[in-house]
Structure 1
Amino acid sequence: MDLQKPPPQPQYPEGCLAVAIRIPVRIVVLVLVLPVRMAWDALVVVGRFLKDTVLRPAGRVLLWVGRALLVWPWVALWRHVLVPVGKALGRLGHVLVVVPLGWLYRYVLTPAGHALARVARGIGAGLGWLYARVLAPVGRGIAWLLKGIGILLAAVGAGLYAAVAWLLRYLLVLPARWLYEWILAPVGRALAWLAGAVVTGIGAVLYWTARILLVLPALTLWRWVLAPLGRALAVVAREVGEALGHAWRIAGRISRAVGRALATLFRWIFVEPLRWVYRTVLTPVGHVVRDYVLQPVAEAARAVRRTARQALTSARDSVRQARADLRRMLLGEPRPPVAVNRREPAGRDTRTLGSSKTALTKD
């Protein structure tokens, strides 16, 4: 529950409308919000209990089952089937495809390519000689001939262009310019001035008509109706919002108090009687059962186990002795161990570093 107080807000002067609607709105909102807050707190407690006791263990079980059914088989298939098969196919492809293709490239395609390159170089040399000795001189002669024809045609075309340009200038351009400067331009300026005056007048009439019929009524409606109504609705909405927040916090405290009362009642009705029964009835009975039933049974079981272990040990020793006697009867006594001479003197004749009887200083 969020029981922390909100940060203090700056205080502004309030009107009589806000003071008049604050208390009734807060009472009504508290009555409406309190059941919702208590239901929300109950759902939160139930959700936490279900998450800790049901959903989380079930999720772990489903995760383990999902891994066992989906992840581990694929991992085993990849690790023990696909990877070895892929390596085997890779080696087989290397032996059957890469090695033959390498041999084919090295011993067949490379020599054939070198031979084709030599043939192509020979053909290119022949074509180069043909171009340099035959085609280039013929092309230069044709180009010189075409250049002379082009110069002649250019001179003829320049003369015709000058004559046509002179005719167009004095027959079309100069009369058209005179017509534009002395007739069309003055007439156009007069028509533009007349159209501007007409449009300006019509625009002024439409402006004042729209201002009188639309703007002034809309401004009056906004200033004297909509703005005061909006301010009143803003005050109501602010008060309702503050009432909702205040009612939510108060409902949280009430819900917390109710929850504590229910928890205390549950403890007094169920927990404390069960604890008293456990302490005053079940614990002494358990001690009696432990001291007079379980401990004697355990001692008897331990004594039986010790007796059985001793009997088994005695039987094992008897079997071992009988087997040794049977071996002695069939094979005879075992030979005594032979003493091995390790070439070490005994007693006071033991070799030392200061003695002259060592292997290095012996005469």
Structure 2
Amino acid sequence: MSHSHSRAVRPAQLLALLLAFLSVSSLMGVVAAGMLVPVAGPTALAAKSVPSLFNELPGDLQTVAPAEESQLLDSSGGVIAHFYDKQRIVVPSANIADVMKKAIVAIEDKRFYEHNGVDATGIARALVTNLGESGRQGASTITQQYVRNSLAERGYLEGDAEQVSAATEQTTERKLREIKYALALEKTQSKEEILTGYLNIAPFGPITYGVEAASQRYFSKSASELNYLEAALLAGLVQSPVQYDPLTHPEAAQERRDTVLATMLDQGVITQKEYDEGIATSVDSMLHPTVSSEGCSGADSSKAYFCDYVLSQFLEDPAFGATRIERERLLKTQGITIRTTLDTAKQDAAYAALTNAIPVGDASGLNDALVSLDPRTGKVLAMAQNTTYGIEAGQTMSNY
């Protein structure tokens, strides 16, 4: 793997800059986008030198495959339901628009292709900024953010709350560990691999993780189809996914998007014409959201009871885990695909026949249900009833 564009950073220079940066950040109480690390002050590092602490930390980060949503499909491959704790769909680099990659680099780490995991220039710049009156600034590179997210994700997947906390704790040791991992990671992964990993693991909303899920949630399209304006909006979300959520805070999202557009213009990613047209476009007019519920509650009403039936079978099968908790965790984190025998045409016909005979919520109080099997194989082709699946008044989760 080639790193011909990487700029070597002398450890002594880097650690000296970092020590100064941490000290100033501590004195100013700096916390920006979760990227700065307050410490107790310069004297806190006196008992143990930074180089000594740095050398004692582990440096062999093994990145994890992040939690990914699972899908329940009908016989033709149509999606019936999604199962997740974190809404994420992992995609390869080829399925992410180039302008999305350029937008995230522009706003998060403009020297990404020049440094070797840690940006000494960025640390120095942040130090000067934090000493002055021009604001507060972080210095984490995309590689460092990828490390941080990977460590937190590993803790989440292992059910280790302490590990999750350690990945984001505001300590000097955490920052140094993150830097050492970042330097090591750049020796084993290419820039493209790191950037793709970051875009798949980073948060883009309250429960939306990774650029593909974000693209589908906000624009109902694949990340490969994003235009420059959509890419700018998504790139702005990672700094504060809840604060800048365009569905709930469109004004804040628009202000942040325009900041990203200005950065993209400054770095030659977009033209002046594109910038002018972009900032004149409201966020509301850009959005074409797909907002669906997790699990069988998010399934089409005619297929929800079949979904419930399959889910019950899955959660009771020891082949998918020793306990029900393990099976549910597998379903919600490992991105599995459950292919079923449900025939959508037959399912729609069955549901129509039932509800035409006795409408949903009929005053008679009568209910009807139907299951259609293939007599040769026993496969379930259709399963329907004339009730609405759910827990609200007038609904039921009882599968007849």
TM-score (norm 1): 0.15
Query: Of the two structures, which has the highest relative contact order with CA contacts closer than 8 Å and spacing of 6 or more?
Result: 1
More helix, by proportion: 1
| Structure that is richer in strand per residue | 2
